[in-house]
Amino acid sequence: MAEHVGAEMIVVGSRGQSPLENRLVGSTTRNVARTAVRPLLVERIAKAEAGHEVVREHLFEHVLFATDFSANGERALAFLPSLRGATRWVTLLHVLGREQVDRGLTAGDSRERLEALVVNLEAMDVEIEVSVREGGVVEEILAEEERVGPTVTLLGDRGQSRPRQLLLGSVCESVVARRHGNVLLVPPSWALTG
């Protein structure tokens, strides 16, 4: 349907019930995420006095953009200017993982690369913060979310080979499953249609 109507984004609600269910992405969300050719916003639904409500006060006001400097990250970064006007702050994050440290990359190298991305966002007229963390990627993204309190976390989703299309990228799936706020995934196919 999103392709048929030329939608710019797909929005689905997601809520966890128990700690175990919070670790799993709902089947509808999972199915849409693995097949979406448009950016997918996973909005959190929380219990409220009158039932349930969407957790989205000022939805795009503060964007946490986590990048691994891959082509997937570049596509997600290219989506960010479409939020101009709604966004006031952007936190650019790179997590320096063990593999990168083993290859000799440093926090200074990562900070330099993030600073280069700032130029791409200057036309948005937003406050921009750069952050580099070291450790496990998912854990550090979640720790940064806790530190800065973004209204949405933006990630570039990885494409999957045909045999693995039933799975989301492990980082994206883990962040969506464990994040208590909103997550915006930009799929590899977005560059072709966006």
pLDDT digits (tens, 9 = 90+) for 98-150: 888 888 989 999 999 999 999 889 889 999 999 999 999 999 999 999 999 99
- pTM for the whole thing? 0.83
**Whose structure tokens read 């980082």?**
171
Question: Which range marks the domain in which residue 167 is found?
Answer: 2-193
Q: What is the CATH number of the domain that holds 28?
A: 3.40.50.12370
> Could you tell me the maximum CA-CA distance found in the chain, to the nearest angstrom?
53
Burial (CB < 10 A; 0-12, 13-18, 19+), residue 55, is middle
More confident residue, 65 or 47: 65
The better pLDDT of the pair 44, 60 is held by 60
Q: How far is CA 77 from CA 5, 9, 28, 177, in A?
A: 24, 15, 26, 22
Based on the structure, what is the number of domains in the chain? 1
**Count helices and strands in the chain by DSSP H and E runs:** 9, 8
